[in-house]
Amino acid sequence: MTDRQASSATGPLDLETYWMPFTGNREFKSNPRMISAADGVHFITPDGRRILDGLSGLWCCGAGHNRREIADAIAGQARTLDYAPAFQFGHPKAFELASRIRGFMPEGLERVFFVNSGSEAADTSLKIARAYWRQKGMPTKTRFIGRAKGYHGVNFGGIAVGGIGPNRKLFGSTVESDHLSHTLLPENRFTRGQPVHGAHLADELEELVALHDASNIAAVIVEPFAGSAGVIPPPKGYLERLRAICDKHQILLIFDEVITGFGRSGARTGAERFGVTPDIANFAKQITNGAVPLGAVVVRRDIYDTFMEQGGPGYAVEFPHGYTYSGHPLACAAGLAALDIFEQEDLPGQVAAKEGFFEDCIHGLANHPHVLDVRNFGFAGALTLESIPGEPARRPYEIAMYCWQRGLYVRYGGDTLQFGPAFVMEKSDIAEIFNIVGDALRAAA
């Protein structure tokens, strides 16, 4: 069986009915790339080909696929308590996981709200920020400041603060927001890790405060390093300046750590690695190692306390927000098992130990055809490719298709190729990723 003749165990697959997310549906359905199993750092296709996973799924499977400990925990939980109401009643594993997550946070981030995705984390954090200021008697603080090229998922709040045009233009206007410039500067091209130029771009926040007035601004939201726009590490000193300006004007700082959190930065959080603590931090991708959807919004204790103090009688709901599947028992069981692995195998330490090798490999492509820039941080990296005139996204797509044929999955988006190996990946597999990509660049028209 070939990819083109996609079929399941019960016969030919109906490819038309499923409307695939963030996918060129017409292209995919004429050239399906099916994944039917996984093993460690490889995917397996229905015809048995092993495909090296160059992005840990979608940045979420850092411990490698199909971890038995996680699978057993999910199966055991499904047999014991498949679901418990998330509102007004509780189940122990949600509390256990919240405490566990708190233990991975920088000092001060102490209360954990569960969601199911990074998009829900984004919108939840924005709602917490607005409601917090209202509770503090400052109800005009409603505006948000995001950053160009920022990605905060696809819900209405997230696309409003996000800075990726194509993700916004179809959907009309959303919540009030403004944006800082991105930090992708030409003088920083081919920098290894954090660039030296660009900390001054944080000062734009002062200009936005002058324009909107701090009394109208609830929060600034940024990814510690931008991921989906093609791995843009923060210039040295940039996050520190943002933190200082937020403090000066009583503006909450939200870190969207959906990619940077839980290992990818070579630390437990991006906040820890960069030494800057936000007021609110959003997580999702790595907590359950991708096995069951789960995200978390972690806030300063006094933010939580404000809601409790202003919440009216004890039986009243202090924060009218949440999801049917917030803290789902299967997700919590998966999260606890995944965090055991995270600690026992010291996944952030593994990243820190191998990130130099990863950096050498990706920067080894700097002189290859079509490469305009190479960026990396921790176990995240990207290439910016020279566009084919009039078709900016085509070359990365074609290169990714070449890689797929050669047994490598890489993510392509805009004019970039993105890499995020599993934290447990051997150096030989990391080298293999970039050997194949090197061949693909040389073969590309």
Ligand X SMILES: Cc1ncc(COP(=O)(O)O)c(C=O)c1O
Using CB under 6 A as the criterion, which residues of the chain lie in contact with ligand X when the complex forms? 117-119, 122, 151-153, 223, 227-228, 256, 258-259, 284
**DSSP string across 186-204:** GGGTT-SSS-SS-GGGGGH
Taking the least distance from each CB to ligand X, the nearer of 259 and 336 is 259
Assigned token pair, 40? 């460690």
Q: 255: part of which helix (H) or strand (E)?
A: strand 252-256
Kind plus residue range of the DSSP H or E element containing 412: strand 411-413
Residue 363 vs 375, nearer CB to ligand X: 375
Cα three-residue angle 186-190-192, rounded to 5 degrees: 125
- Minimum CB separation of residue 295 from ligand X in Å reads 7
Residue with smaller CB distance to ligand X, 151 or 409 = 151
Amino acid 279 reads: D
Maximal CA-CA distance, the chain: 68
We find the least distance from the C-beta atom of residue 156 to ligand X, in angstroms, to be: 13
Nearer to ligand X, 147 or 368 (CB): 147
Contact 262, 420 (CB under 8 A): no
Considering the complex, state which of residue 119 and residue 289 has its C-beta at the smaller distance from ligand X.
119
Q: Are 266 and 348 in contact (CB under 8 A)?
A: yes
CA distance 109 to 303: 10
- Min CB(39)–ligand X separation in Å: 24
Nearer to ligand X, 246 or 259 (CB): 259
Q: How far is the CB of 223 from ligand X (least distance, A)?
A: 5
Smallest gap from residue 233 Cβ to ligand X (A): 14
| Nearest one of 27, 401, 49 to 409, comparing CA atoms | 401
Minimum distance, C-beta of residue 423 to ligand X, in the bound complex (Å): 17
Residue 339, φ and ψ in degrees, nearest 5 = -70, -30
Side chain identity, residue 65: H
Find how far residue 398's CA is from the centre of its chain: 24
Give the integer Cα–Cα distance in Å for 72 and 134.
44
- Residue the block writes with tokens 């083109």: 4
We find the least distance from the C-beta atom of residue 60 to ligand X, in angstroms, to be: 8
Residue whose entry in the numeric block shows the structure tokens 């007021």? 279
Q: Supply the minimum distance, in Å, between the C-beta of residue 146 and ligand X.
A: 11
Output 101 or 441, the one with its CB closest to ligand X.
101
Nearer to ligand X, 284 or 330 (CB): 284
Q: Which residue is nearest to ligand X (CB)?
A: 118
